[in-house]
Amino acid sequence: MRLLLVRHGQSEWNAARRLQGQADIALSDLGKSQADALRPVIEGIAPCRAIASDLERVRETARRIGAVSPRFTDRLREINVGDWTGRAIGDIQAEDEGAYLGWRAGTSAPPGGEIWSDFADRVTSVIEEERRTPCQNLLVVCHGGVIRAILQRYIGLGPAHIIPVAPASLSAFRLGGDKPPRLELFNYLPGQLDFEAPD
């Protein structure tokens, strides 16, 4: 099985550099156009089925990239950032850079936030359910943290070693067979590269 991991397009809070976690924030105009640009790539791959987070920014991304009848689930939501929800990233860093870096590395949680290992368990449980039904290319439309959790659990790439996943980008890796899980593609954007993606 190949997992096709798509992060939602830029949201209004991504544009403002605010952490959103599980807040239900809509796509920005740029986010809509980013998702539209990815649609021909996804259509060319023709996934056998799709699953997605139930938050609106992901729902709209899934529609815009042409996901066919996706199964929406709250278990693919972004990590809950607790008291940091809605806060500007720069303000959090200015207040406590170490706490922010620890959160990005998956070694600490914001006050009232979700523990990384619990989050990764939640996300992985969905993928493991999907693996029970054959599918060559499974489309997973989700959030940057969800993609980082999947990469950590299946290929051992810790969140501290992964740049933020670009909005409306495609990453892919293969699961199963007689070989270990393999990363095939990371942060692909049609016609461009993005090394400065928001958290």
138: its two tokens: 């499974």
Q: How far apart are CA 119 and CA 59, in angstroms?
A: 20
- What is the chain's Cα-based Rg? 16
Q: Is 3 helix (H, G, I), strand (E, B) or coil?
A: strand
In the 8-state DSSP scheme, what is residue 191?
A: T
Q: Which of 8, 60, 114, 143 is catalytic?
A: 8
Q: Is 43 helix (H, G, I), strand (E, B) or coil?
A: helix
> Annotated catalytic, 129?
no
> Annotated catalytic, 78?
yes
C-beta separation of 6 from 42 below 8 A: yes
Q: Which of 43, 56, 60, 78 is catalytic?
A: 78
Residues forming the active site: 8, 78
